[in-house]
Structure formats: C-alpha cells, structure tokens
C-alpha cells in the first residue's frame, strides 16, 4: 500500500517559527501526526517491508526541518499559552487554535486511565524530541522494491553550509545545513538514546559529517559524553551501550583521531569515581572506560559482541598510544591478568571434565568452546600490547613499567602454540629492560626505574622486534540491519514520545518486558 500525506500536514512542517505561540504548536502537531501514521509497525512482530513511504517532493526539506528542530532545542511556550487565543487575535486565530486542539485530542490516542507518554514537564523540548524521533523513524524505513528510502538518502548526502565546493552532479535530496550547530547539539544531547542513535547514523552514513566531526579540535566535547554512557553501563539499556561503543569504534578507524586524543588533557573527571584522576589524557581515559566495559561484560552479561567491539576499538588505537597514564597502563596489564586467571580456571575445569568422563563414562560439560573464546581474547590483548611496543615503545614508559612489574603473568604463554609468535616481542622487551635494570643495581626507586626504562626505550634497536600486520578493524553493519534498528527506534518512540500512548497489550514489534 502506498499513499501520500495530506499537503497541509507535510507543508506545515516547513513553516518557520514566526509567532512561537502559534507555529510551535502547529509544528509539534504535524510531527506527532506523522509519527502516529507510521506507528502501524508497532502492531506487527515482523518488519514491514512493503515500501510504505510517503511520496513527497519535499523529502530533503522535511529532513532539513527536522534536523533544525533538533538543533534549535526550542523550549515549549508556557502551557497556558499554547492554544489560548490572544484577545487581539480575532476569529482566525481562535479557529486555528481550535483546529490544532482538536487534532491533538484525535492523535494522542489517550483517554481516561491511559499512560500519556512523556509530559511537557518531563521534557521541556517536545518539538526537538518529537522531531528527532520522527527523523529516526524515517531514516530507518525499509527500502521500496524499486527505489531506496529517500529520507535515508537525504541523511546520507547533506552537506555543510560552509562547504563552498560545487559538485558536478548533486545527489538526489541534497541540502545544506550548519554542521557547527549540529555538532554542538549532538554534544549536548548524548544523554538520550535517540541523540546517540542520530550520531551513529550520521557517522556511519554521512561521509561529509564524519569528515567534519573528525576534523574538530574539541573532540572531547563529543567523546566525553559517550564515555560517560559506557562508564554507567549498568544503568543503561544494552542498545544505548552498543551505539556508544560502535561510535567509538568508528572514530578509532581514523589514525588522526587516535593521535589527537592523547594530546587533549583533562582535569578532574567528576563522573569517574574509581580513582581520582587529577589530570589524564582523553586517550588514556578512553582506554580506562573501554577496559572497564570489558571487565563488566566478563562478570555480568558475557556478550561476545560487546567484547569484540571493545577489543577492536583498543586494537585500532594501539599503534598510536602516547604517554599512557600510569593507571591506564596498569589496567591494560590487569585485564590481561584477569584473562589469564580465567584461562587457567577453564583449563582446569576442562581437565577435570576429561578425567570424570574417563572414570564413569558419562557426558560432562564441554569446555572446549569456552577455552577457544578466552584464548581468542588473550591473543587479541597480546596483539594490542605488541602493537604498542612495536610502534610507540619510546612514548609509553608506563606500559613498559607495568609489563615488567607483572612479567610472571606472561611466562605460561611463552610456549603455548597459540601465542608463541606474538610472545616473541613481549619476551624481547621484558628481557631487554630486565637486563638493564639488573645493571643499574638493586633497591631502585620508582623514579630510577622509570629513568632506566626511558633511556632503554631509546636504545632498543627496532629491528629486534618482529613486524606484524597492522591492527585495523572496521565497523560493518550486519545483513538486514533493520531487524535490529526498527524495533529499537520504535521502542524509543514508545518510551520517549511526548503525549503519545499506545496500548502495551497490542505491541507486537518488541517485548514489553525487555525495556
């Protein structure tokens, strides 16, 4: 089934906010009405793939308007004035406000005893919020049989208003928008799932926006809110955590980003409470938060997907590690220690399982798969450490110090067939610096040890370390990503749309007890 929206609804979205008491309410009603029209998806367990997209010639203008509504963060006028006619407004104003009020009562689908969604008091930016939700719905509509989703096309190819270059052939649905304003709004709104999802969408699909974001010199304004999401992983839903982590993975695909984050110094990160960090680089903080996420996942959720993406982000950064904070270096080795302990435990369980099977000939748990998984993770951690040693050893005395302090951890992996090759460089570094420390004498202070390490890092011949392929991972969406994103987007609409209500008993798209 295909249809076009009524012209007044589509065109009303494009009206500028002239008199805020009139147009704000009309714009909000129009956005909300379109959300309701699309909400048929909530009542179907399967993704609707029949190309149900409104055919508007105003596609790019609609997307641009929704983005500007999000950027402006316009506060709602006082509730007593939204539909209240002014004394001098006359009959026309009263009629317009009456129609808008009537539309509202029809499309909120509320009623006595219903859950009326998020109230204005809970969200003082209803137009911005509702516009963002509609934009995400439009961007994630499935493609039609003969043509791609025009809203996704518009999101993919819009350009910066400051871009003066002229394209020979403009892609369809192209428009320009102020990237600086959009970047600022994204930085300020990352507390919400929907803003994080928009950031992911733009980074993944819009090359112009991705290039602009990576060129910013104030990346800490964007990265810090993302790290805070991951730091409070136990308080966030899994989808929000995934989006934050994938954003980091996409950012770490860029070497310039990986270098620049170690040049940004931060002071007194209030939300990081495990240890007082009076001064730390953004790069070291990113490492700390990602490692904490891995450790949380190991003890709680045990999600292989989360592990893979965390390690991929660290791997992308590893060759560019610079002057790691002492605590960050310690946490890298502590994570390896935790993995080593887990490996020994699983290996012991596997040995006991084999003995039990031989004794009574009964089927016991198979630990081979667990052992393979933990060995894959250990291998990745060794590759990350090795990548740093090969590419930036002289920039990371704290990592060498931590490596020497816990060198006994690596002995058991020296002859292991899965790790022999990657252990060669780790052994070389440990042996080289251990010898220099022995030559320096006994009872060395911490400062003296660090001095020996820094001088030794300059003296170690680079050709003594075996070269390995560069560690690089790139994020790629899985096949049929709509199976993940459409239920996610509509769960956000269900939980965050202002004033809208759908009966939970009729929701089929996602489980109501899954959050």
Q: Read off φ and ψ for residue 91, nearest 5 degrees.
A: -65, -40
Torsion of CA 504, 510, 511, 515, to 10 degrees: -90
Q: Which of 258, 412, 252 is nearest to 339 (CA)?
A: 412
More confident residue, 316 or 165: 316
Buried b (16+ CB within 10 A) or exposed e, 438-454: eeeeeeeeeeebbebbe
Residue 107 above 80 pLDDT? no
pLDDT band of residue 102 (cuts 50, 70, 90) is: very low
Whole-angstrom distance, CA of residue 196 vs CA of residue 246: 10
Whole-angstrom distance, CA of residue 328 vs CA of residue 385: 13
Q: Tens digits of per-residue pLDDT, 118-135? A: 454 556 788 999 999 999
Taking a C-beta distance cutoff of 8 angstroms, is the pair 215, 178 a contact? no
pLDDT for res 460: 87
Query: Roughly how many angstroms between the first and final C-alpha of the chain, as a whole number?
Result: 31
Mean pLDDT, rounded, of the chain: 82
pLDDT for res 15: 53
Q: Please compute Rg for the chain using Cα positions.
A: 28
Q: Tens digits of per-residue pLDDT, 17-66? A: 555 566 888 888 889 988 988 888 898 888 887 655 555 557 888 999 99
Alpha carbon separation from 239 to 194, 197, 242, 487, 508 (Å, rounded): 11, 9, 5, 11, 19
Taking a C-beta distance cutoff of 8 angstroms, is the pair 307, 291 a contact? no
Whole-angstrom distance, CA of residue 111 vs CA of residue 141: 29
Q: Which of 208, 32, 236 is nearest to 128 (CA)?
A: 32
pLDDT for res 45: 87
More confident residue, 170 or 104: 170
Whole-angstrom distance, CA of residue 446 vs CA of residue 294: 29
| Sign of the C-alpha dihedral computed for residues 481, 482, 484 and 485 taken in this order | positive
pLDDT for res 357: 59
Tokens linked to 240: 């929000």
The CB-side HSE value for 431 (13 A sphere, CA atoms) comes to 10
Residue 35 bridge partners (DSSP): none
Alpha carbon separation from 147 to 2, 50, 172, 193, 254 (Å, rounded): 13, 12, 12, 29, 32
Q: At a CB cut-off of 8 Å and minimum separation 6, what does 92 contact?
A: none
Alpha carbon separation from 362 to 11, 176, 354, 355, 357 (Å, rounded): 72, 69, 10, 11, 5
Whole-angstrom distance, CA of residue 446 vs CA of residue 82: 67
State the DSSP string of 255-320.
HHHHHHTTT-EE---TT--SS--SSEEHHHHHHHHHHHHHHHHHHTT--HHHHHHHHHHHHHHHTT
Place of tokens 């490492």: 287
Taking a C-beta distance cutoff of 8 angstroms, is the pair 508, 48 a contact? no
> Where in 149-230 does DSSP place strands (E)?
159-160, 176-177
Buried b (16+ CB within 10 A) or exposed e, 477-515: eeeeebeebbbbbbbbbbebbbbbebeeeebebbeeeee
> Domain map of the chain by residue range?
7-253+477-506, 257-464
Taking a C-beta distance cutoff of 8 angstroms, is the pair 30, 15 a contact? no
pLDDT for res 280: 96
- What's the average model confidence in pLDDT over 230-238? 90
Q: Which of 496, 499, 416 is nearest to 196 (CA)?
A: 496
Q: Which of 88, 96, 95, 92 is nearest to 25 (CA)?
A: 96
pLDDT band of residue 355 (cuts 50, 70, 90) is: low
Tokens linked to 363: 């089927």
Taking a C-beta distance cutoff of 8 angstroms, is the pair 107, 488 a contact? no
Q: Tens digits of per-residue pLDDT, 464-503? A: 888 888 899 999 988 888 889 999 999 999 999 988 888 8
| Sign of the C-alpha dihedral computed for residues 185, 190, 195 and 199 taken in this order | positive
């Amino acid at each position: 089934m295909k249809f076009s929206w009524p012209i007044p609804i589509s065109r009303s979205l494009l009206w500028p906010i002239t008199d805020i008491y009139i147009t704000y309410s009309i714009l909000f009603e129009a956005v909300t009405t379109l959300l309701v029209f699309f909400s048929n998806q909530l009542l179907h367990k399967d993704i609707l793939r029949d190309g149900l997209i409104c055919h508007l010639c105003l596609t790019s203008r609609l997307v641009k308007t929704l983005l500007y509504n999000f950027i402006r963060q316009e506060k709602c006028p006082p509730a007593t004035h939204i539909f209240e006619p002014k004394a001098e407004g006359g009959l026309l104003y009263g009629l317009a406000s009456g129609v808008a009020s009537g539309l509202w009562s029809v499309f909120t689908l509320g009623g006595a005893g219903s859950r009326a969604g998020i109230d204005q008091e809970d969200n003082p930016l209803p137009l911005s919020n509702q516009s963002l939700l509609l934009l995400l719905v439009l961007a994630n509509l499935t493609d039609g049989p003969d043509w791609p989703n025009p809203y996704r096309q518009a999101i993919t190819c819009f350009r910066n208003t400051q871009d003066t270059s002229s394209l020979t052939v403009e892609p369809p649905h192209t428009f320009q928008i102020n990237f600086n304003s959009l970047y600022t709004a994204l930085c300020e709104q990352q507390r919400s799932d929907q803003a994080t999802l928009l950031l992911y969408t733009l980074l993944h699909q819009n090359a112009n926006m991705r290039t602009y974001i990576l060129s910013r010199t104030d990346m800490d304004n964007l990265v810090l809110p993302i790290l805070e999401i991951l730091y409070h992983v136990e308080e966030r839903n899994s989808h929000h955590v995934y989006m934050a982590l994938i954003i980091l993975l996409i950012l770490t695909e860029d070497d310039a980003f990986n270098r620049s984050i170690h040049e940004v110094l931060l002071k007194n990160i209030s939300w990081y409470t495990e240890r007082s960090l009076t001064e730390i680089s953004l790069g070291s903080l990113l490492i700390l938060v990602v490692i904490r996420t891995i450790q949380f996942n190991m003890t709680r959720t045990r999600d292989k997907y989360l592990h893979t993406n965390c390690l991929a982000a660290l791997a992308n950064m590893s060759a560019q590690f610079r002057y790691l904070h002492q605590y960050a270096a310690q946490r890298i080795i502590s994570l390896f220690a935790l993995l080593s302990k887990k490996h020994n435990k699983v290996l012991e369980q596997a040995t006991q399982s084999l003995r039990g099977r031989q004794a009574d000939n009964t089927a016991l748990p198979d630990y081979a798969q667990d052992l393979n998984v933990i060995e894959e993770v250990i291998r990745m951690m060794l590759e990350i450490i090795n990548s740093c040693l090969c590419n930036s050893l002289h920039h990371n005395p704290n990592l060498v110090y931590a490596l020497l302090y816990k060198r006994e951890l690596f002995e058991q992996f020296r002859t292991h067939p899965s790790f022999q090759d990657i252990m060669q460089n780790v052994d070389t570094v440990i042996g080289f610096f251990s010898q220099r420390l022995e030559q320096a004498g006994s009872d060395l202070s911490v400062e003296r040890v660090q001095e020996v390490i820094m001088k030794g890092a300059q003296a170690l011949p680079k050709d003594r370390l075996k070269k390995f392929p560069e560690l690089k991972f790139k994020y790629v969406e899985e096949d049929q990503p709509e199976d993940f994103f459409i239920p996610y987007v509509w769960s956000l609409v269900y939980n965050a749309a202002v004033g809208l209500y759908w009966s939970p008993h009729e929701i089929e798209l996602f489980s109501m007890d899954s959050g």
